[in-house]
Amino acid sequence: MSASALDNKTVLITGGTGSWGMELTRQLLEDHGPREIRIFSRGELKQVEMRRSVSDPRVKYIIGDVRDKDRLRLATKGVDVIFHLAALKHVPVCEENAWETVQTNVIGIQNIIEASIENGVERVVDVSTDKAVDPFNLYGVTKACGEKLMIAANLLSDKTRFVCIRGGNVLGTTGSVVPLFKEQIRTQNSITITDPNMTRFIMRVEEAIHLVLHATEAAVGGEIYVMKMPAIKISDLAKVMIESLGRSDTEVREIGIRPGEKLYEVLVSRYEIRRTIETDNYFIILPQIGIDHLSERYSQEDLTSSTLEEFNSVNTQQLTNLELQLLLSLDGWLEEPRRRSSDMQLSAGADISRESDNESLIDLVKAPIDSRSAI
């Protein structure tokens, strides 16, 4: 797909009222020229709220559930590109509601595949998660299964192409740890963490969606694109938020790992690294199964000679506390940051000179993304 591949296209976003979906909608409207964007979700209230904040007439709203194949068939008529974001995502909830999770995250994705092929959709993009790698919890197992279904779907159609984009945590999304910590400081003067050594990938939602769109245009179908993301220690996140929002007596309480949680996350496993192509901003994982059109794009010479056994939240770049403070400040999570970015001494090689406070964390840590460059 070319740089203007989404221009004049009809786009369907499942789970489109969440943090990822709203940012994706914003970037599509501002930076691309879609003919129509259809927001497909099952929550009436969320759709009403989004209607109030997004008034562009190109945005349409459809109440529906990915479990309902008939509803998906109707919703995908005339659609060119699908971004599949809908999922049950909270690890403990998925552990306790196992069959509901399977119906949404596995059967739902198969319904997307079948409806897309029936209606001649050009491209389907499944946004996946680091928890799909070496899965330890049901959420990860279902997302790993969803990736397999999506990649194998390229064997079912000559017209519809399917690609996965895998990423880690996005800062401040609904139900995530940053708004939780802020609320705990405000109401309890304490923060609860599960393990002080726990690490997680982290990125701003604007940057994550930028990467999703760039990978969508670069992929040919059958790949798993993996975002290169920095990581943080959860204990460092707690410390930074307490320093800016808490008091001298604000406590950190350790409560133990929750059911299904890992100490660290993996974005490319040791089994995948051998069939992975590394670029500046992504790892591109090629499938184990043979997909004809992929051999026209990639060759054995493209495969990475990385010395990493795997790409995880321990061996990726770790943000310093000052970098993390700036990241939180950019998204407004710190009401009164104690230090301005001009006063910060960042880690060696980092550069904080920027034209505006809205530039991405990738610029901050000297890993810029040029959306116009070839991958």
Taking residues 26-53, report their average pLDDT.
Answer: 96
Question: What are 229's two structure tokens?
Answer: 């993301």
- Mean pLDDT for the chain? 87
CATH of domain 10-167+203-228+267-302: 3.40.50.720
> Given this model, what pLDDT does residue 261 score?
86
Of 169 and 172, the one with more pLDDT: 169
The Cα 355–Cα 218 span in angstroms is 28
% pLDDT > 70, the chain: 87
> Two tokens at 317?
């770049």
Which pLDDT belongs to residue 356?
39
Q: What is the model's pLDDT at position 157?
A: 95
Block residue for tokens 């459809």: 62
Whether the pLDDT of residue 333 is over 50: the answer is yes
More confident residue, 61 or 169: 61
The residue assigned the tokens 């970037």 is 27
Kindly report, residue by residue over 231-276, the tens digit of the pLDDT: 999 999 999 999 999 999 999 999 998 888 899 999 999 999 999 9
Q: What is the pLDDT of residues 189-215, one digit of tens each?
A: 999 999 999 999 999 999 999 989 999
Q: Are 97 and 137 in contact, with CB atoms under 8 Å apart?
A: no
Q: Rounded to two decimals, what is the model's pTM? A: 0.86
Can you tell me the distance from the alpha carbon of 226 to that of 282, in angstroms, rounded to the nearest whole number? 5
Q: Counting Cβ atoms within 10 Å, is residue 307 exposed (0-12), middle (13-18) or buried (19+)?
A: exposed
The pLDDT, as a whole number, for residue 1 is: 43
Q: Give the pair of three-digit tokens for residue 357.
A: 């406070």
Whether residue 347 is predicted with pLDDT greater than 80 in this model: the reply is no
For residue 74, the model assigns a pLDDT of 98
Residue 63 in 3-state DSSP?
A: strand
Residue boundaries of the structural domains of the chain: 10-167+203-228+267-302
Give kind and range of the element (H or E) at residue 150: helix 138-152
Q: Point out the residues that are catalytic.
A: 131
